[in-house]
Structure 1
Amino acid sequence: MRPTGYYIGEAAEPWRVFTDAGYAVDVASVAGGTPPEDGRNEDDATQRAFLNDPHIAAQLRNTPSLAEVSPDDYDVVFFVGGHGTMWDFPTSPDVARVGRAVYEAGGVVAAVCHGPAALVTITLANGQPLVAGKRVTSFTNSEEAAVGLTHVVPFLLADALTDKGATHIPGPDFTENVVADGRLVTGQNPQSATGVARAALSAR
């Protein structure tokens, strides 16, 4: 066994895009408190800036839980990846609540890498899965095999999204791939984090 959590680069790069565009960014986690990490790059200037930003640093020390978050306050919800999300997102009713509320209020739902695990359980008011009939992407089965975790994760994300009625659009392993379908924006892997944030702004 090994610890897991969220991948800092997939939070830091969108944070940079959103803040550069004049948006205020808040962070939250499923359980609240200090969220566990699933990797960082100490040499990456954007990740260092994210972790050292006073607002972000204060929130990361004690994030609000999603249960405390009012989706009415946000134009975009961005589900960051990291393998930990594969266990935490699909089992959280507040992930589904916040995602559905932002989307149905005309906001953007965005997710990258394993972050689309959040989309597996988001159901709209009409009873349909959010992803049904939509084009999406996520960490692929091939990428999961490449990192040796096919038999560790609780399910294969691309297959789960397809089972919910989505059309999963894979790109080559570990290269940028962003898929926007209206106000639903997804990215395949860490290399796609910046592109997802830019596409989310364009979808506003």
Structure 2
Amino acid sequence: MPTTQTNPSGHKVLFVLTSHGELGDSGQRTGFHLGETIEPWRILRDAGHTVEFTSVRGGRPPMIGHDPADPAHTAFLADPAGGGLVDTAPRPEDVDPAAYRGVYFVGGHGTMWDFHEHPALHRIVRAVYEENGGVVAALCHGPAALVGVRLAGGGPLLDGQAVTSFSHEGETARHLDTVVPFSLQHALEKDGAVYTCAPDRHPHVVVSGRLVTGQNPQSADGLGRRMAELLATV
């Protein structure tokens, strides 16, 4: 496991990053979204929590949303507790979920390929949510990790839960509905989730018990704040 800064008054939270870098056969690149990573990371650390990272294939995966002119981006990537931990991120199979009271699935289109139906990610979700009584969060395309998760009783995690994600309408508007392997919104609804969304590019965060979901990159700040509020109660 990577070395982390610890704070005895806070919890450990695991950020999960996609390692998939190709947007189907479109010729476009994808990866984990840096902005969706930085804002919740800053909020949770300011609240006294320790953030660790895992990436599907281990190590730093391909990245999108990086603005070299943004000092917050530069600072995160240079920080041993930020980009330094991303560089040495273990695979989900090598993570002990018992250590975490929160897990956050960062977005980026790559999640649609390598988060979906991933056994180790499902194991982490179930452990954090059911065994640890912790908080599960996902942003934009990150909720792909939640599709198909079954709880100990056999029912879907998402059944009856209020959620959001990147919308099918937003996918269609970008002509990516035929590029991604499935419709995330429709998959969430098929699992029994009660889906809502705001207009494209407007922030929208939904809290359903200890499950927090956000619609898009514009929702990163709100998701981080709601995570911090819930982690203060678990």
TM-score of the two chains, using structure 2 as the length reference: 0.84
Question: Could you give the per-residue CA deviations for residues 151-171 of structure 1, whole angstroms, max 9, x where no partner exists?
Answer: 100011111000000010111
Question: Could you give the per-residue CA deviations for residues 70-121 of structure 1, whole angstroms, max 9, x where no partner exists?
Answer: 1111111000000000001013211101011000120000000000001102
Residue range with higher mean Cα deviation, 111-120 or 46-55: 46-55
Q: Which amino acid aligns with 1:149?
A: L
Determine which of 66, 72, 87 is the counterpart of 1:46: 72
Q: For structure 2, which runs of at least 5 residues remain unmatched after alignment? A: 1-26
Q: Any conservation in 2 of the 1:72–1:102 contact (CA below 8 Å)? A: yes
1: distance between equivalents of 2:200 and 2:97? Answer: 34
**How far 1:28 sits from its partner (Å)?**
0.7
Residue of structure 2 in register with 1:106 after alignment: 133
Q: Which amino acid aligns with 1:69?
A: V
TM-score of the two chains, using structure 1 as the length reference: 0.96
Q: SS of the residue aligned with 1:192?
A: helix
Question: Could you give the per-residue CA deviations for residues 119-162 of structure 1, whole angstroms, max 9, x where no partner exists?
Answer: 10221101111111000000001111222211100011111000
1: distance between equivalents of 2:34 and 2:96? Answer: 24
Structure 1 segments of 4+ aligned residues over 3 angstroms from their partners: none
Q: Greater share of helix residues, 1 or 2?
A: 1
**How far 1:16 sits from its partner (Å)?**
0.6
Is 2:198 the partner of 1:175?
A: no
Question: Could you give the per-residue CA deviations for residues 51-78 of structure 1, whole angstroms, max 9, x where no partner exists?
Answer: 1211222222231001111111111100
In percent, how many aligned pairs have the same letter? Answer: 50
**How far 1:46 sits from its partner (Å)?**
2.7
Q: Which amino acid aligns with 2:190?
A: D
Q: Any conservation in 2 of the 1:15–1:50 contact (CA below 8 Å)? A: no
Residue range with higher mean Cα deviation, 59-68 or 93-102: 59-68
Is 2:84 the partner of 1:58?
A: yes
Q: Greater share of strand residues, 1 or 2?
A: 2
Residue of structure 2 in register with 1:131 after alignment: 158
Look at both structures and tell me which one has the larger radius of gyration over its CA atoms: 2
Q: Which amino acid aligns with 1:44?
A: D
Q: For structure 1, which runs of at least 5 residues remain unmatched after alignment? A: none
Residue of structure 1 in register with 2:193 after alignment: 166
Q: Any conservation in 1 of the 2:206–2:212 contact (CA below 8 Å)? A: yes
**How far 1:189 sits from its partner (Å)?**
0.1
Residue range with higher mean Cα deviation, 31-40 or 67-76: 31-40
2: distance between equivalents of 1:15 and 1:47? Answer: 12
Residue range with higher mean Cα deviation, 194-203 or 93-102: 194-203
Residue range with higher mean Cα deviation, 59-68 or 130-139: 59-68
Aligned residues: CA RMSD: 1.2
Q: SS of the residue aligned with 2:104?
A: strand
Residue of structure 1 in register with 2:10 after alignment: none
Q: Which amino acid aligns with 1:66?
A: P
Q: Any conservation in 2 of the 1:162–1:168 contact (CA below 8 Å)? A: yes
**How far 1:179 sits from its partner (Å)?**
0.1
Q: Which amino acid aligns with 1:142?
A: E
Residue of structure 1 in register with 2:37 after alignment: 11
Question: How many residues are matched?
Answer: 204
**How far 1:34 sits from its partner (Å)?**
2.0
